[in-house]
Amino acid sequence: MTNVVLLRPDESQDPAVQTARLIRAFAEGRRTQGDVFWLKENAELLGALASTGATLDTAALQPLAAFHRGCRDLLRDFPQYYRFILSICLDLEDLGLPRHYGAALCAKVARAGLEGAELSDLQRAEARRLLRRRGVGPRVEDGALAQRLRDFIVRSATFAMPNRKAAYELTHIVFYLSDYGRRPPVLPEVALKSLHFTGLLAFLDQDMDLLAEVCAALRFAGQAPSPLWEDAIAASHRAMRVYADEGAPLQDDYHEWLVTGWAMQIAGRPMRSTDIPKGALRFHKGRKGAGALRPLAACLNDMGANRRADWGQMRPHVLSYLCPESHATLLRAERAGPYFEEFFEGFARARG
């Protein structure tokens, strides 16, 4: 006789199981629930899940059910964190928990005028986006605030120079104008150029966290990012290690792991399910690729007044200056899209 052995599938590899473990780890295994870093991490995780249209069963969201029930009291006691609290509450309800509190919470934030406590236009825009998810208040794309945001993102020269604060503000403005891909942001060509300039800087620096955000923003704007960029993001995500170690430092690479995987999901290239272990998760990226941004800047600095803004003139001088790995990165950046020469003109800061 033939013995037949029935093998049950490994339930731990089920994407729903993996997501549930991830939610529990962020809710219980990394930081103390309610502190500002806990709020930030959980808001980012849930925001990524909600923006891709995920729906989860209540069991997966159970580790955050108590937070959901207590969010009104948290808002009363910690109004300075209202954007995090509101974001988590709304995402939990959009992901599968009952819609018991989100609308009332939005109304309470609006009555208290908490957006008025923000000095930053970017934070005001985030507040408006959150409130509009329950139909409260003005839209992000309306009025003087929207005009200031658009004036910022169309100044492409800003984004031809390394400035991480400006770069992340650019991507987040597109996130808020598009409501994370739920509606077209209708960006002019010059704003798309700003995104491409930022992507070039991120790719040259091999900064996959920022590059993933740029690719997501381009997708939300209805544009296909360079396949070279998205291939690099996918490779970075695959190379990252996820492990459980309660004693390991919390200053890890969770954000890069999250946004690279999120960008691939938005691109329609979902990654093979990562093995998410049970326990207190930590995220560690592998060796960073050899960037070309710093060597390129050093080359221009060494040339002083002899530098030129014309990439065709400068190309042989720059390429001969770089080590092989940086040389290869620069060549890939050059091939990544139509804006490299114009980007270099701004980056070079030369008279002609």
| Residue ranges covered by each domain of the chain | 12-137, 144-289, 290-352
Q: What is the pLDDT of residues 120-160, one digit of tens each?
A: 999 999 999 999 999 999 999 999 999 999 999 999 999 99
Buried b (16+ CB within 10 A) or exposed e, 64-93: beebbeebeebbeeeeebbbbbbbbbbbbb
pLDDT at 273: 59
Q: 210 and 167 in contact (C-beta within 8 Å)?
A: yes
Q: What is the pLDDT of residues 247-257, one digit of tens each?
A: 898 899 999 99
d(CA 192, CA 199): 11
Q: 170 and 156 in contact (C-beta within 8 Å)?
A: no
d(CA 317, CA 311): 10
In order, the DSSP letters of 313-342 are HHHHHHHHHS-HHHHHHHHHHHHT-TTHHH
Q: What is the pLDDT of residues 285-328, one digit of tens each?
A: 977 778 999 999 999 999 988 999 999 999 999 999 999 999 99
